[in-house]
Chain A
Amino acid sequence: MVAQNIAFGIIAAITVAAAIGMVSTRNIVHAALFLVAVLGGLAANYVLLTAEFIATTQVLVYIGAVMVLFLFGIMLTRAPIGRIPRMTGATWPVAALSALALGGVTVYALVDRFGTDSLATDSRVFRTADVSDSVFSQYIIPFEAVSVLLLAALIGAVVLARRD
């Protein structure tokens, strides 16, 4: 248990530092790399939570596919490589205040409600087979809906982005 807590501390520190770096850096390619660090840290957290399939999917879909999309987006909009002078808008103090207020309220509510509740130590480990059994029996209708949603998003993206 101690080893897991130490691992969590290291991973959480890296994740939060990378997230803050992502929203504060002036270089957009660095921001994308910081996002990779955040997503990798979250994948490590899923491993700590014994969610092996989610961790694998996180690496494949986010770090693999979504990040390539973002890098293509940066490339195709011809973002200047290097420091960008006005990366944050004039409203950033209001944005920081809102984020602080939201974070403060959420942290207070979580500490107040869950305090020092431990994670159930005797909970079962759900392997990939258990997840797939659940997806293809109990959640089959949402699964089909997601398939249609992905198809619609694919067609929508092609229709929006093609030149005509």
Chain B
Amino acid sequence: MLLNQFLLLGALLFAVGVYGVLARRNGVMVLMSIELMLNAVNLNLVAFGVQHDVVSGQVFALFIIAVAAAEVGVGLAIVLLLYRNRKSIAVDEFDLMKG
């Protein structure tokens, strides 16, 4: 197997995730796309770990999974709070900080 086949799959998934974050209006969908990007990075870490014959790639991937779980917990709490205050989670309606 080539190293590049995993790296290219990760790159494609990351690009799709970037599109999702930028284009989707629903706050939950934005969080899902961020998960997609984090997973793409995890695939790269594990592939490089195999390539260099070290266990660190897998350990880093584990840490990213833990951080992603924390991120999605806090992110969904923020989305719920937004919904409670504004009755909407369309991210393009939140422009309070626009000058």
Q: How many angstroms from the CA of A12 to the CA of B58 in the assembled complex?
A: 20
Chain B 32-46: CB-based contact to A (< 8 A → 1; otherwise 0): 110110010011001
Given contacts A19-B16, A131-B58, contact A154 B67 (CB under 8 A): no
In the assembled complex, which residues on chain B have CB atoms less than 8 Å from the CB atom of A49?
6, 46-47, 49-50
Are B8 and A45 touching (Cβ within 8 A)? no
The digit string for A55-77, where 1 denotes a CB below 8 A from any CB of B, is 00110011001100110111011
Interface size counted on chain B using CB atoms at 8 A: 71
Among candidates A53, A120, A152, A160, residue contacting B58 with C-beta atoms closer than 8 Å: A53
Specify the main secondary structure of chain B where it touches its partner.
helix
Cα A110 to Cα B44 with chains together (Å): 11
Contact across chains for B11 and A107 when beta carbons are under 8 A apart: yes
Prevailing SS type, chain A contact patch:
helix
> A interface vs B, CB < 8 Å?
1, 4-5, 8, 12, 15-16, 19-20, 22-23, 28, 31-32, 35, 38-39, 42, 45-46, 48-51, 53-54, 57-58, 61-62, 65-66, 69-70, 72-74, 76-79, 84, 86-92, 94-96, 98-100, 102-103, 106-107, 110-111, 114-120, 123-124, 126, 130-131, 134-135, 138-139, 142-143, 146, 149-150, 152-154, 156-158, 160-161, 163
Given contacts A62-B35, A111-B4, 18 further A-B contacts (CB under 8 A): A12-B5, A15-B13, A16-B16, A20-B16, A22-B20, A23-B24, A32-B32, A45-B43, A49-B47, A74-B28, A77-B80, A103-B12, A126-B58, A139-B63, A146-B66, A153-B73, A156-B77, A160-B80
